[in-house]
């Protein structure tokens, strides 16, 4: 009997060995086939380009043509994988650090194809030499800017800190161009443009996750606690993310040391990592609310999602973007780099919030291209349920769903088009030139006279906009003609068309409240820059008010986070 057992054990070991050997062989064979496929297709690509270079009727520009191929390959993977040649490395550095060498200003292209200053940053070279919103950029040193777009002009404005150049610019209302001698500096976009008190609640607007933002936020929290803050609101709306370690450090301010914040999991072992809090927290007890919207993404979703999973904050707003992918950069020959997706991240509950299945997205794009049909590209995991530390249900694959949802009215069509039209800039410039100062943001308001002036400028400018009702009516008429009903209903269509006649003044009266808000933002940013814009935005802010309501109601707050 003992001998039989030895024989059986030996047979089992042989079977296991055979199985492992087969698995290893299949794995090695699969890797060999993969390597051959890579070598084969690279050889085909190399040979194809050489044939094009030799025989194509026109001379080829290798950098341009190869870049098209690289960009197409990146787009076929996911929207975040991107190639950066040497000349674009500044863009990658700015993305990760928030720093670049330049003049410290946002520029934009007008409808007449000229490039203007849209917003100079405070205490930066552009503002210091006197460049103002609306100034038309004509020349940089001996380079004429006529015909250039804003991207091309931006590249000329950027450069090594300490280098000096001359800008020629034409100020609206003047006939003679001005000259500005300006020295580039290391520019860092403000991560925390604004923070302040709302009663006994501290409010912090965090614009992006760049180097040092966690330390800035820590200082802001300490400052507001010294002012008597009994609760905090962190505003992550329109925050597209940034550095993962900064997100972890921000969560660390409010949760115990050695708490898991996020895990990354990828194909390579090096991509698998658990990020835990490494320092003593700043405050474990102060009530927290986090504001989010559909543009809250990546690192901003890690902060809001981790604080939600740990039952440490109430999330207020609407569903977030849903970016659960992690990128890292790899160096390439000739000083280039590639930013590529290397992992997915998972919040403390174990959920991944990636909303779109990027593999399905590629399939959907191909199906739409060939058949015109649209297919669902949501992640398959969108129905899986996970649980917070206190047992509350949270879902995967949907972005971050707020604990307190706030529904907003859709932005009116006319307001959207006015916000992007030159007439708004022109009106703001005239106002700025005729008003040396304005009251503090909390006391500033657009007067009836201001609004009437703007209305007249809009009418005089010939402003028009695409009206959805007009488009829908046109589509309906075409459908009715196709199905044979149009002649019978022609009178009704004509009557409806008369009621939908374009009437700018009527629409501006209907949406006066929203347009006044637009005008106030345009004026305030010229005097108080981005901090003023944030403060103006907070007037009548529904998300902020709902967060304040929750924080000022202890029983509701505790009920939401499961205390």
In a domain, residue 127? The reply is: yes
Report the pLDDT value the prediction gives residue 226, as an integer from 0 to 100. 97
CATH number of 159's domain: 2.30.42.10
**331 and 202 share one domain:** yes
Strands 260-266 and 194-198: unpaired
Phi, psi values for residue 330, rounded to 5° = -125, 135
| Residue 104 CB coordination number (10 Å) | 24
Q: Can you tell me the distance from the alpha carbon of 209 to that of 204, in angstroms, rounded to the nearest whole number?
A: 14
For residues 201, 206, 209 and 211, what is the CA-based torsion angle, rounded to 10 degrees?
A: -80
Report the pLDDT value the prediction gives residue 496, as an integer from 0 to 100. 72
Number of domains in the chain: 3
**401 and 452 share one domain:** no
Report the pLDDT value the prediction gives residue 326, as an integer from 0 to 100. 84
**394 and 421 share one domain:** no
Report the pLDDT value the prediction gives residue 369, as an integer from 0 to 100. 55
Report the pLDDT value the prediction gives residue 371, as an integer from 0 to 100. 60
517 catalytic? Reply is: no
**163 and 201 share one domain:** no
Q: Counting every residue, how long is the chain?
A: 563
Burial readout 269-305 (b: 16 or more C-beta within 10 A, e: otherwise) = eeeeeebebeeebeeeebbbbbbbbeebbbbbbbbbb
- State which of 188, 209, 238 marks the end of a domain: 188
Q: Consecutive sets of 10 residues in the chain, 563 residues long: mean pLDDT of each?
A: 48 54 56 76 84 86 85 80 78 66 91 91 92 94 93 90 94 93 89 95 96 96 97 97 94 98 90 94 97 96 98 97 86 83 92 78 59 58 82 91 93 88 94 95 96 95 74 76 80 72 83 96 94 95 97 96 84
- State which of 159, 188, 217 marks the end of a domain: 188
**Contacts with 146 (C-beta within 8 Å, 6 or more apart), sequence order:** 138
Give me the residue label for tokens 């409808």. 111
| CA 520 from centroid of its chain's CA atoms | 24
Report the pLDDT value the prediction gives residue 445, as an integer from 0 to 100. 96
In a domain, residue 6? The reply is: no
**272 and 321 share one domain:** yes
Report the pLDDT value the prediction gives residue 376, as an integer from 0 to 100. 57
**215 and 184 share one domain:** no
In a domain, residue 550? The reply is: no
In a domain, residue 523? The reply is: yes
With CA atoms as reference, report the closest residue to 539 among 561, 524, 560, 552: 524
In a domain, residue 484? The reply is: no
Report the pLDDT value the prediction gives residue 5, as an integer from 0 to 100. 46
- Active-site position among 154, 323, 337, 421: 323
323 catalytic? Reply is: yes
- Give me 497's structure tokens: 């068309």
Q: Can you tell me the distance from the alpha carbon of 34 to that of 37, in angstroms, rounded to the nearest whole number?
A: 5
The backbone region for 257, taken as left when phi is positive above 0, alpha when psi lies in -120 to 50, beta otherwise, is beta
CA dist 97 → 92, 94, 338 (Å): 9, 5, 16
**258 and 357 share one domain:** yes
CATH number of 249's domain: 3.90.226.10
Give me the residue label for tokens 């860092």. 188
**160 and 281 share one domain:** no
CA dist 29 → 38, 58, 462, 470 (Å): 14, 44, 69, 61
Q: Can you tell me the distance from the alpha carbon of 133 to that of 33, in angstroms, rounded to the nearest whole number?
A: 59
Report the pLDDT value the prediction gives residue 433, as an integer from 0 to 100. 92
Angle at Cα 138 formed by Cα 159 and Cα 187, nearest 5°?
30
Angle at Cα 327 formed by Cα 82 and Cα 304, nearest 5°?
130
Q: Can you tell me the distance from the alpha carbon of 254 to that of 282, in angstroms, rounded to the nearest whole number?
A: 6
pTM for the whole structure: 0.81
Report the pLDDT value the prediction gives residue 15, as an integer from 0 to 100. 54
Report the pLDDT value the prediction gives residue 503, as an integer from 0 to 100. 77
Cβ-count burial of 226 within 10 angstroms (0-12 exposed, 13-18 middle, 19+ buried)?
Answer: exposed
**165 and 126 share one domain:** yes
In a domain, residue 391? The reply is: yes
- State which of 407, 424, 454 marks the end of a domain: 407
- Active-site position among 298, 304, 337, 349: 298
Report the pLDDT value the prediction gives residue 556, as an integer from 0 to 100. 96
**396 and 349 share one domain:** yes
**285 and 371 share one domain:** yes
**182 and 231 share one domain:** no
pLDDT tens column, 11-42: 555 555 555 555 555 555 666 777 777 788 78
pLDDT tens column, 468-495: 666 777 777 788 787 887 788 787 777 7
In a domain, residue 298? The reply is: yes
Q: Which domain holds residue 160?
A: 99-188
93 catalytic? Reply is: no
Q: Can you tell me the distance from the alpha carbon of 484 to that of 481, in angstroms, rounded to the nearest whole number?
A: 5
In a domain, residue 327? The reply is: yes
């Amino acid at each position: 009997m003992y001998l039989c057992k030895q024989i059986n054990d030996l047979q089992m070991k042989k079977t296991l060995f055979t199985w492992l050997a087969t698995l290893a062989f299949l794995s090695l064979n699969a890797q060999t086939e993969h390597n051959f496929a890579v070598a084969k297709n690279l050889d085909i690509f190399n040979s194809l380009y050489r044939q094009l270079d030799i025989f194509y009727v026109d001379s080829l520009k290798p950098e341009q043509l190869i870049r098209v191929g690289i960009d197409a390959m990146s787009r076929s993977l996911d929207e975040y994988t991107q190639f950066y040649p040497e000349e674009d490395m500044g863009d990658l550095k700015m993305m990760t650090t928030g720093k670049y060498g330049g003049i410290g200003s946002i520029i934009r292209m007008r409808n007449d194809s000229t490039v203007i200053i849209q917003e100079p940053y405070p205490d930066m070279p552009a503002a210091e030499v006197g460049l103002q919103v609306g100034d038309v950029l004509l020349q940089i040193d001996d380079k004429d800017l006529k015909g250039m777009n804003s991207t091309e002009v931006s590249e000329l404005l950027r450069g090594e800190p300490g280098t000096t150049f001359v800008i020629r610019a034409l100020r609206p209302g003047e006939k003679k161009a001005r000259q500005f001698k300006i020295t580039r500096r290391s520019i860092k976009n403000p991560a925390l443009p604004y923070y302040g008190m709302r009663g006994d609640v501290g409010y912090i607007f965090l614009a992006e996750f760049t180097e040092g933002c966690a330390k800035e936020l820590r200082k802001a929290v300490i400052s507001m606690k010294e002012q008597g803050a009994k609760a905090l609101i962190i505003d992550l709306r329109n925050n597209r993310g940034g550095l993962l370690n900064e997100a972890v450090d921000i969560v660390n301010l409010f949760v115990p040391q050695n708490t898991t914040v996020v895990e990354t999991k990828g194909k390579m072992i090096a991509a698998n990592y658990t990020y835990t809090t490494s320092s003593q927290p700043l405050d474990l007890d102060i009530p927290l609310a986090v504001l989010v919207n559909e543009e809250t993404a990546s690192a901003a979703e890690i902060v809001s999602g981790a604080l939600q999973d740990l039952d440490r904050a109430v999330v207020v707003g609407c569903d977030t973007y849903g970016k659960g992918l992690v990128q890292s950069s790899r160096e390439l020959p000739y000083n280039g780099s590639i930013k590529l997706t290397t992992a997915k991240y998972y919040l403390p509950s174990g959920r991944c919030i990636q909303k779109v299945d990027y593999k399905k997205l590629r399939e959907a794009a191909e199906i739409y291209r060939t058949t015109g049909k649209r297919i669902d590209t949501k992640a398959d995991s969108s129905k899986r349920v996970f649980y917070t530390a206190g047992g509350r249900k949270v879902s995967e694959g949907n972005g971050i769903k707020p604990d307190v949802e706030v529904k907003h009215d859709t932005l009116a069509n006319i307001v959207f088009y006015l916000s992007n039209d030159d007439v708004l800039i022109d009106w703001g410039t005239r106002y700025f030139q005729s008003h040396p100062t304005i009251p503090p943001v909390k006391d500033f308001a657009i007067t009836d006279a201001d609004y009437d002036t703007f209305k007249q400028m809009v009418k005089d400018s010939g402003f028009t906009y695409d009206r959805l009702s007009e488009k829908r009516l046109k589509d309906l008429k075409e459908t009715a003609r196709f199905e044979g009903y149009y002649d019978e209903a022609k009178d009704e269509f004509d009557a409806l068309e008369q009621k939908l006649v374009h009437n700018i003044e009527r629409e501006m009266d209907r949406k006066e409240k929203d347009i006044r808000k637009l005008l106030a933002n345009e004026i305030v940013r010229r005097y108080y820059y981005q901090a003023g814009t944030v403060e103006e935005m907070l007037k009548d802010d529904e998300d902020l008010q709902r967060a304040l309501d929750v924080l000022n109601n202890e029983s509701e707050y505790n009920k939401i986070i499961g205390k």
